[in-house]
Amino acid sequence: MANIVAIVGRPNVGKSTFFNRLVEQRQAIMDDMPGVTRDRHYGYAEWTNKFFTVIDTGGYVTGSDDKFESEIRKQVEMALDECTAVIFMVDCKTGLTGFDNEFAKIIRRSKKPVFVAANKADTPSKNLEANEFYELNMGEVFPISSENGGGTGELLDALVKTFASEGVEDPDAGIPKIAIVGRPNAGKSSLLNVLLGNERSIVTDEAGTTRDAIHSRYKMFGNDFILIDTAGIRKKSKVTEDVEFYSVLRSLRALEESDVVIVVVDAERGLESQDINIIVLAQKQNKGIVIMVNKWDLIEKDTKTADTFKKDMLEKLAPIDYIPMIFASALTKQRIFQVIEKAVVVFNNKTKRIPTSQLNDAMLPEIVHYPPPGMKGKHIQIKYITQVTAKSPAFAFFCNLPQYIQESYQRFLENRLREKFDFEGVPIRLFFRKK
C-alpha cells in the first residue's frame, strides 16, 4: 500500500511552504494572498529511508460565497479520502480559530492518523503558544516552522511510524509525460477531468483558474503515463500578478519535462499568436505535439468546415506541417479519447528506432534518384545514414561535403523520412557529417 500524506488546513497557514520543503523543490506556488493553492498538488518525499507521496491542498473555508471556495473544499475532501495520514496545519501567529475547530470535525471523520503541525513557531514564545492547539483534542501538537525547517524532524519521525511499508522512491520514474498546454480558458482542465473521470482540477469559466501544474497518473490503450494539466500561458505583457507569473513559469517547466504536449486551442477564437508561440516553443524543445481544437460543438459546421479550419491553421504554422489536429469537445466528450490516443501514437513515434539497414534501404534510392544539388562545381555524395541516440528522432547523414547541403534539400530528406517511417507529430533533426 502506498504511503500518502495530505497537508490540510485553513488558508494561508503555510501548507505550500511545508509541501515544498518536503519535496525539496519549489513545486507549489507560495504567496501571502489566501487561496493561491486551489487544486490538489502531488509530490514525493523521503524521511529516514521511508518514501511517501505528499498532497498539498487549498485552504479549507466554509460559509463563503466565493465560487472557488466550494471547489477547493471538494479537492480537500478528495485528498482526505485518498491519503493514509493527515498533517493538519494550524497557525501559531493567529492562534486557534473557529475554522480550525470546524475543520477538525471533518478530519476526525476520515479516521486517518492525524498530526497537528502548529506552523510559524519561529520563536520560543511562539513555541509555547502552540500549546493552545491541544484544545483540538487531536493528540500531540508539533510546533514547526515551514520557513526555516524548525521542528519538522520530530513531526516526520512520528509520521513515518504510521507507514505500513517503506514505500517507493519515485512511482513515476520512467513513465511518459503528456502536458496539456494552451491559452487561459481553452478547456485544459475540463479535458483532464473528463479523461480521469473525476474532478482532478477545478473548472470555472474564469480564465486563470488553474495555477499549479497538476500531475495525474493515467492508464489507457495499454499504456501507463502521466497527464500534466497546466495554467494558461498568456503573453508577458498581459501577466500582471505575481501569482500568475509563477503559474506561467510552472506551465513552461511542465512543458520542458514532458514528452508530448497537447496544445488545446479554442475553436471559437481559432489559432492565435500565443498558441503559435507555444507550438514553436514545443518544437524547439523537440516535444511530440498534438493540437486539440476544443469547443468544436459550438461551431456552426458544414462538410468543409474542418478542412477549412485545418488549412487556415497550417498556413499560420508554416513550415510546421507534421502536427495532427483533432476537432473535439471536452464538454460533450466528442473525440476526446481520440486526442489521448493520438498523443500515445505521437509518443511512440518520438521514441521509435529505425534499424540502420532499413533506413539505408529506404533512403539511399531516394537520394540517388534526387541527389543533392552541386555547389561551387562540387559533386555532393551521401553514402550512409544512421539514427543518432537521442530523446527525439535524429539522423546523421555521412557525406563528402556536409557544409554544402542546402536547407531546401534538408527539407526534402525530412519529408522522405516522414513518408517512409511515419513521424507524425514529432520534430526530426538532421545532422550532416563528413564521411
DSSP string, 332-372: TTBTHHHHHHHHHHHHHHHH----HHHHHHHHHHHHHHSPP
Please count the structural domains in the chain: 3
The span from the CA of 279 to the CA of 291, in Å, is 9
325 neighbors 335 (Cβ within 8 angstroms) = no
Range of the domain at 83: 4-160
> Does the residue 365 lie in any domain?
yes
> Does the residue 167 lie in any domain?
no
300 neighbors 400 (Cβ within 8 angstroms) = no
Top-confidence residue, 61 or 125: 125
Reported as a single tens digit per residue, the pLDDT across 241-295 is 443 344 456 566 778 888 999 999 999 998 988 888 888 888 999 999 999 999 9
Percent of the chain with pLDDT strictly greater than 70: 82
Top-confidence residue, 367 or 169: 367
Q: What is the CATH number of the domain that holds 396?
A: 3.30.300.20
Instruction: Please compute the mean of the pLDDT values over residues 56-67 and round it to a whole number.
Output: 61
Q: Do residue 257 and residue 404 come from a single domain?
A: no
Give one DSSP letter per residue of 22-79, joined into a string. HHTS--S---SSTT---S-EEEEEEETTEEEEEEE-PPP--S---HHHHHHHHHHHHH
The span from the CA of 193 to the CA of 191, in Å, is 6
Of the candidates 326, 287, 334, 268, the residue with the CA atom closest to the CA atom of residue 428: 287
> Does the residue 168 lie in any domain?
no
Highest-confidence range of 27-31, 166-170, 389-393, 424-428, by mean pLDDT?
424-428
Last residue of one domain, picked from the residues 335, 351, 367 = 351
The span from the CA of 236 to the CA of 269, in Å, is 20
> Does the residue 187 lie in any domain?
yes
What is the pTM (predicted TM-score) of this model? 0.65
Reported as a single tens digit per residue, the pLDDT across 16-26 is 889 889 988 65
Q: Do residue 133 and residue 182 come from a single domain?
A: no
Q: Do residue 196 and residue 294 come from a single domain?
A: yes
Q: Do residue 86 and residue 192 come from a single domain?
A: no
All cell numbers assigned to 421: 517511417
Top-confidence residue, 58 or 107: 107
Catalogue the E-assigned strands of 68-113: 85-91
Q: Do residue 60 and residue 208 come from a single domain?
A: no
Q: Do residue 288 and residue 223 come from a single domain?
A: yes
> Does the residue 290 lie in any domain?
yes
Query: What is the SS3 assignment for 182?
Result: strand
Query: What is the SS3 assignment for 185?
Result: coil
The span from the CA of 276 to the CA of 283, in Å, is 10
All cell numbers assigned to 250: 510552472
Of the candidates 60, 107, 102, the residue with the CA atom closest to the CA atom of residue 87: 107
Reported as a single tens digit per residue, the pLDDT across 222-241 is 777 888 877 655 544 444 44
Q: Do residue 14 and residue 129 come from a single domain?
A: yes
Q: How far is CA 147 from CA 19, 25, 89, 355, in A?
A: 11, 13, 13, 53
Q: Do residue 336 and residue 320 come from a single domain?
A: yes
> For strand 382-387 and strand 394-399, is the pairing parallel, antiparallel, or unpaired?
antiparallel
372: CB partners within 8 A, 6+ apart: 380, 382, 399, 404, 405, 406, 409
Reported as a single tens digit per residue, the pLDDT across 181-205 is 888 777 887 888 888 775 544 333 4
350 neighbors 422 (Cβ within 8 angstroms) = no
Q: Do residue 307 and residue 325 come from a single domain?
A: yes
Average pLDDT score, the chain? 82
At residue 140, φ and ψ (nearest 5 deg) are -65, 140
pLDDT band at 40 (very low <50, low <70, confident <90, very high): low
The predicted pLDDT at position 232 comes to 55
Last residue of one domain, picked from the residues 306, 323, 351 = 351
Q: For residue 46, what are the β-bridge partners? A: 51
Q: Do residue 238 and residue 181 come from a single domain?
A: yes
Last residue of one domain, picked from the residues 317, 351, 385 = 351
The predicted pLDDT at position 69 comes to 59
Instruction: Please compute the mean of the pLDDT values over residues 160-174 and round it to a whole number.
Output: 82
372 neighbors 416 (Cβ within 8 angstroms) = no
The span from the CA of 109 to the CA of 96, in Å, is 20
Q: What is the CATH number of the domain that holds 117?
A: 3.40.50.300
Give one DSSP letter per residue of 264-291, joined into a string. EEETTT-S-HHHHHHHHHHHHTT-EEEE
> Does the residue 101 lie in any domain?
yes
At residue 376, φ and ψ (nearest 5 deg) are 55, 40
45: CB partners within 8 A, 6+ apart: 5, 22, 23, 24, 51, 52, 53, 54
The alpha carbon of residue 399 and the mean position of all alpha carbons in its chain are separated, in whole angstroms, by: 41
> Does the residue 421 lie in any domain?
yes
The span from the CA of 93 to the CA of 108, in Å, is 24
Q: Do residue 361 and residue 340 come from a single domain?
A: no
Q: Do residue 142 and residue 46 come from a single domain?
A: yes
* Other beta carbons within 10 Å of 73: 19
> Does the residue 56 lie in any domain?
yes
Reported as a single tens digit per residue, the pLDDT across 285-344 is 999 999 999 999 999 888 889 999 999 999 999 989 999 999 999 889 899 889 989 999
